[in-house]
Homo-oligomer: A and B are copies of this chain.
Amino acid sequence: MEAIRRRIAARALGAGDRLPSIRGFAATMGVSPSTVVEAYDRLAAEGLIRSRPGSGFTVAGHPPLAVAAIAARPDPAMDPLWVSRRSLDAGAAIPKPGCGWLPPDWMPVAALRRSMRRIARGGDAVLTDYGDARGSADLRRLLARRFAAEGLDAGPDAILLTASASQSFDLVCRALLRPGDTVLVDDPCYFNFQAALRAHGARAVGVAMTPSGPDPDLFAAALDAHRPRIYVTNSALQNPTGATLSAQAAHRLLGAAAAHDLAVVEDDTFADLEPEPSPRLAVLDGLGRVIRIGGFSKTLSASTRCGYVAAKPDLVEALVDLQVATSFGGPSPVAAGLVHGALSDGSYRKHLASLRTRLSEARRDTAGRLCDLGIRPWLMPRGGFTLWCRLPDGRDAAAAARAASRDDVVLAPGDVFSVSQTATDMMRFNVAQMSDPRVYPVLARALAAA
């Protein structure tokens, strides 16, 4: 029962898929066929699988995530949600080289305070009302101007504000996916994409990353083989690798996507950390099949909870409905006002410049100190805060993460990012979270234990 439960939870078996034959499964598990029959009967009684006359047992439908999340966590260090929750709940005192954000003293706190005081002095409605269903028109106009400067024409009505880039992705999944659909992701990719897809009952299929984006041949082959509905990626400073999509790869991906009528979600969360602009699918495509999502958590504030999605008008219209249906109202006018205030503040550009310099120094320093431990970057990224690294001698990153966790240091082992679970000896480090003196000794001990 546990073996089947795990396969369903891990989406190795999807809704409607046939279960292994009783005889075959009995052989695999080294038990008698009657044991398998009993296990299948019990799973059917639980509603997880169904008996279909003539076609054996099939998976009944994706189990609610509540079940899946718990069942999928036999090894917490390899579970996407484990890293998220450890990072979120660790508290300020615990070093978090595995987390995906910058420490408070790297953020433009003075600009946020100014923005906040401005709102406290401003009109009543921003403090009390739901606001437009699409979110603050001021912030949408500001975003539209930024997009136009990149060569992407999108009026404020083509933009919907949300509570975060993650929630933008969730809304897009709700609008475009049905349980059982396949979604193409980079391998490795941002681990929470996988958690979100699990919540939608979607199956993630990976395409191997190269330093210039996903491998275009493997991408085309995956489209042929799996007929995914959506591809989701970060073109700039891909998480976790820090890779940058090349113009050639972008052109080829979009060509293949068009041939398969694939929707592409481009998560631009790391845009403001880039030293200079790189190719974007949304700009090449012009929001035809590309949906741009993003947020302000990495360079401004994760606390304010504000993201956006830009797409073609009929999809945006459907996303507005979905957001109203599932969280009522638009995103917080207070949050949008804070973001708008801080982005319009003349100091934001300066903040970004000094942030990039500080990250470059931290990246060099971290890479050097990791190399002393035999840990080598897969790529030296052009910007951002992630370093995707290989551990020495094929050490097991999950074992190292478990060991470090016992020493109260949160690490992010490679397989958490890898749909194919082929990043066993890889690890993502956040160069802005490596200054605590406890980090390197704990890391050395964790490596020894792995």
What residues make up the interface of A, taking CB atoms closer than 8 Å to B?
61-67, 69-70, 80-81, 84-85, 88-89, 92, 101, 104-105, 107, 109, 112-113, 116-117, 119-121, 124-134, 163-167, 170, 174-180, 192, 195-196, 198-199, 297, 301-305, 315, 317-322, 324-335, 338
Contact A328 B166 (CB under 8 A): yes
Q: Kindly provide the distance from the CB of A84 to the nearest chain B CB, expressed in whole angstroms.
A: 5
CA distance A67 to B317 in the complex (A): 11
A-B contact pairs, 16 of them (CB 8 A): A61-B178, A64-B178, A66-B318, A66-B319, A70-B317, A88-B132, A88-B324, A88-B330, A113-B120, A116-B119, A116-B127, A128-B303, A164-B327, A165-B328, A303-B334, A334-B335
Contact B120 A192 (CB under 8 A): no
Contact B174 A129 (CB under 8 A): no
A-B interface, 5 closest residue pairs, ranked by CB to CB distance from nearest: A66-B318, A195-B325, A166-B328, A104-B124, A116-B120
Contact A84 B324 (CB under 8 A): yes
Known: A176-B64, A199-B174. A327 touches B130 (CB 8 A): no
Q: A85-B321, A88-B132, A88-B329 are in contact. List 7 more A-B contacts (CB 8 A).
A: A84-B324, A85-B320, A107-B128, A164-B327, A198-B325, A334-B334, A334-B338
Q: Kindly provide the distance from the CB of A224 to the nearest chain B CB, expressed in whole angstroms.
A: 19
Q: Kindly provide the distance from the CB of A267 to the nearest chain B CB, expressed in whole angstroms.
A: 12
Across the interface, A305 reaches (CB within 8 A) one of B121, B176, B329, namely B329
Smallest CB-CB separation from A326: which chain B residue?
B170
CA distance A304 to B330 in the complex (A): 11
Contacts of A130 in B (CB 8 A): 88, 101, 297, 302-303
CA distance A17 to B113 in the complex (A): 56
Known: A133-B85, A302-B329. A324 touches B192 (CB 8 A): yes
Contact B120 A326 (CB under 8 A): no
Contact A65 B318 (CB under 8 A): yes
In the assembly, how many copies of this chain are there? 2
Known: A120-B120, A302-B129. A328 touches B65 (CB 8 A): no
A85, A192, A321 pick with most chain B CB within 10 angstroms: A321
Smallest CB-CB separation from A198: which chain B residue?
B325
Across the interface, A120 reaches (CB within 8 A) one of B64, B117, B170, B175, namely B117
Q: Kindly provide the distance from the CB of A190 to the nearest chain B CB, expressed in whole angstroms.
A: 10
CA distance A124 to B236 in the complex (A): 28
CA distance A85 to B320 in the complex (A): 9
CA distance A218 to B85 in the complex (A): 43
Known: A164-B328, A170-B327. A335 touches B132 (CB 8 A): no
Contacts of A107 in B (CB 8 A): 124, 127-128
Contacts of A128 in B (CB 8 A): 104, 107, 109, 112, 301-303
Contacts of A317 in B (CB 8 A): 70
A62, A92, A304, A329 pick with most chain B CB within 10 angstroms: A329
Contacts of A113 in B (CB 8 A): 120-121, 127
Known: A178-B61, A325-B199. A305 touches B332 (CB 8 A): yes
Contacts of A124 in B (CB 8 A): 104-105, 107, 109
Across the interface, A70 reaches (CB within 8 A) one of B119, B178, B318, namely B318
Contact A66 B127 (CB under 8 A): no
Contacts of A81 in B (CB 8 A): 321, 324-325
CA distance A64 to B176 in the complex (A): 6
Contacts of A321 in B (CB 8 A): 65-66, 69, 81, 85, 195
Contacts of A304 in B (CB 8 A): 332, 334
Across the interface, A66 reaches (CB within 8 A) one of B301, B315, B332, namely B315
CA distance A193 to B170 in the complex (A): 19
Q: Kindly provide the distance from the CB of A360 to the nearest chain B CB, expressed in whole angstroms.
A: 21
Smallest CB-CB separation from A81: which chain B residue?
B321
Smallest CB-CB separation from A114: which chain B residue?
B120
Contact A327 B117 (CB under 8 A): no
Smallest CB-CB separation from A229: which chain B residue?
B64
CA distance A134 to B198 in the complex (A): 20
